[in-house]
Amino acid sequence: MYNYKMFLAYDGTKYLGWQVQTTQPLKTIQGKLENVLSQLFDEPVQVIASGRTDAGVHARMQVANFHTTTSKSCDEILAYLRDYLPQDIAVIQLKEASERFHARYNCLTKRYAYYIDTNFSANPFFTRYSYHIPETLDIAKMEAAAHHLLGTHDFKSFTSMKNKKKSTIKHIHSITIESAPCGLVIYYHGNGFLQHMVRILTGTLLEVGLGHIQPSDVIGILEGKSRALAGPTSPSHGLFLEEVLY
Amino acid sequence: MYNYKMFLAYDGTKYLGWQVQTTQPLKTIQGKLENVLSQLFDEPVQVIASGRTDAGVHARMQVANFHTTTSKSCDEILAYLRDYLPQDIAVIQLKEASERFHARYNCLTKRYAYYIDTNFSANPFFTRYSYHIPETLDIAKMEAAAHHLLGTHDFKSFTSMKNKKKSTIKHIHSITIESAPCGLVIYYHGNGFLQHMVRILTGTLLEVGLGHIQPSDVIGILEGKSRALAGPTSPSHGLFLEEVLY
């Protein structure tokens, strides 16, 4: 068996997310990749990502791997992918990996970015890539709230995950808020993120930034361990998977 | 009469260009703006831009003005435009201007940018906003060629304009080539640009960058005064009107 590791970027606007849906596999990123790679290798190819991304979420740098029974040169695979993938999915780099490399199990940390357009009229070049909130946000308060979320916590209040057997304890290394061409961007770096976690964290930080809740309220939201306590789930189109670290 | 000056941005992807087409006025930026402003002021409003942009060309900062017989506050006009314009057109700023201000006649210089994606696989976030040329371009040679284009010249070889009465003499202040997130960008600053001129200049500089012609060949192209001598017209979707100066 041969194992290939790839780095890819995609515009998630038109997709149902990363993971193959049984009814509409070609409306997923995984489905598109598996379809093209299975044609090239003339055998069923399964692609494993570092983690799934939701419908509409973008990736500036996702990592995935796939096994094949025959070997082809990386240049040949890259050229075939470029020619047959739609223009909203791009494989940027591809290399042979050790047989044991697994994009999901071996992932150590991930970086996400959430873009917010604070202009009065939304910037036409960022409407597909940011959440438009034409308000003045109190960045200092948002940073104070973010500080309470750092470290190891039970993030049960910040996920819509229904599976009660799976642990909701995660570690957030950093949350930073920076200015961006569209307005601002919130970067998240952690050892893993639960379903909708980055979007609910963002929705909660925005509640703080808008003055609806106080930074210290975040402590009670964490301790309450109930989804109902946290802010709304921010829309998917502002979210980018930025980097996956191994 | 009241005169308003506005600064606007638009994603030209879905439009036939700036100027109203008699058959499909609402497929033009001017048509969309005039439609919304005429509704707001309840009278026919004509919008004058610094210059037309071709089908598919974007504007990061276009300037336009319009006259009305009644007065409204800038905040009210801005809010109405935000609510009724499609999300690919945004009026960023609006202010009252002196009655004599004319967006086209008073324009002194313009800055354009042409984006080129040199990645092997096109960056999915720039496919609508750059021309994909997955090649190594010789930037030094392109800069040498650009140097011959600076100053006042007859740019007859660099336009597809058929009107023989109109002067084809223009002055280019600067052409600079910089690296950009997608690969590279060529900035043009001049006192005016003829129809398709920036795209033909770009197509010619790319011929130099690809090694098909030499930098000094540009001198002969200028002197020959024939469209057939210059390079191809680069696609419209890589072109942005960046700034209009008064």
**What tens digit of pLDDT does each residue of A135-167 get?**
999 999 999 999 999 999 999 999 998 877 889
Q: Write out chain B residues lying below 8 Å of A120, CB-based.
A: 78, 82
How confident is the model at residue A115, as a pLDDT?
98
- DSSP state letters, B112-161: EEEEEE-SSSPPTTTTTTSEE--S---HHHHHHHHHHH-EEEE-GGG---
Is A109-245 a domain of CATH 3.40.1390.20?
no
In this complex, the residue of B10, B81, B124 whose CB is nearest that of residue A88 is B124
Comparing alpha-carbon positions, the chain B residue that sits nearest to A87 is B124
Would you please indicate which residues of A are annotated as catalytic (active-site) residues?
A: 54
How confident is the model at residue B49, as a pLDDT?
98
How confident is the model at residue A146, as a pLDDT?
98
d(CA A57, CA A65): 20
Question: Which one of the listed residues B11, B42, B54, B117 is annotated catalytic?
Answer: B54
How confident is the model at residue B112, as a pLDDT?
98
Q: Is B54 a catalytic site residue?
A: yes
Q: State the average pLDDT over residues A113-127.
A: 96
d(CA B170, CA B156): 10
- Name the percent of chain B in helix, strand, coil, to the closest 5: 30, 30, 40
**B163: pLDDT confidence band, cut at 50, 70 and 90?**
confident
DSSP state of B165: T
Give tens-digit pLDDT for B105-136.
Answer: 999 999 999 999 999 999 999 999 999 999 99
- What is the CB neighbour count within 10 angstroms for residue B96? 13
Report angle CA A48, A54, A59 to the nearest 5 degrees: 70
How confident is the model at residue A95, as a pLDDT?
97
Q: State the average pLDDT over residues B136-146.
A: 97
Q: State the average pLDDT over residues A193-201.
A: 97
How confident is the model at residue A23, as a pLDDT?
85
- Do B2-96 and B109-245 come out as alike in CATH topology? yes
Q: State the average pLDDT over residues A156-182.
A: 92
CB contact under 8 A, A125 and B78: no
d(CA A28, CA A36): 13
**R_g (Cα) of chain A, nearest Å:** 19
How confident is the model at residue B110, as a pLDDT?
98
Q: Torsion over CA of B12, B17, B21 and B27, rounded to 10 degrees?
A: 0
d(CA B190, CA B107): 11
Going by DSSP bridges, is the β-strand pair B109-117/B131-132 parallel, antiparallel, or unpaired? parallel
Region of poorest pLDDT, from A162-171, A235-244, B217-226: A162-171
CB contact under 8 A, A87 and B58: no
How confident is the model at residue B17, as a pLDDT?
95
Q: Which structure tokens are listed for B65?
A: 């003005």
Residue written as token pair 């992932």? A107
Check pLDDT > 90 for residue B22.
no
Check pLDDT > 90 for residue B24.
no
Q: State the average pLDDT over residues B61-84.
A: 97
How confident is the model at residue A24, as a pLDDT?
86
> Domains of chain A: which residue ranges?
2-96, 109-245
Residue A156 is which amino acid? K
Residues B54 and B10 sit within 8 Å (Cβ to Cβ): no
Residue written as token pair 């942009």? B53
pTM for this model (two decimals): 0.92
Q: How far is CA B91 from the centre of its chain?
A: 17
**A211: pLDDT confidence band, cut at 50, 70 and 90?**
very high
Check pLDDT > 90 for residue B88.
yes
How confident is the model at residue B2, as a pLDDT?
97
- What is the CB neighbour count within 10 angstroms for residue B166? 10
Interface test with B, best of A74, A76, A125, A133 (most B CBs within 10 A): A125
Q: State the average pLDDT over residues B39-65.
A: 97
How confident is the model at residue A163, as a pLDDT?
78
CATH number belonging to domain B2-96: 3.30.70.580
A146 CB contacts (<8 Å, ≥6 apart)?
A175, A177, A186, A205
d(CA B178, CA B242): 15
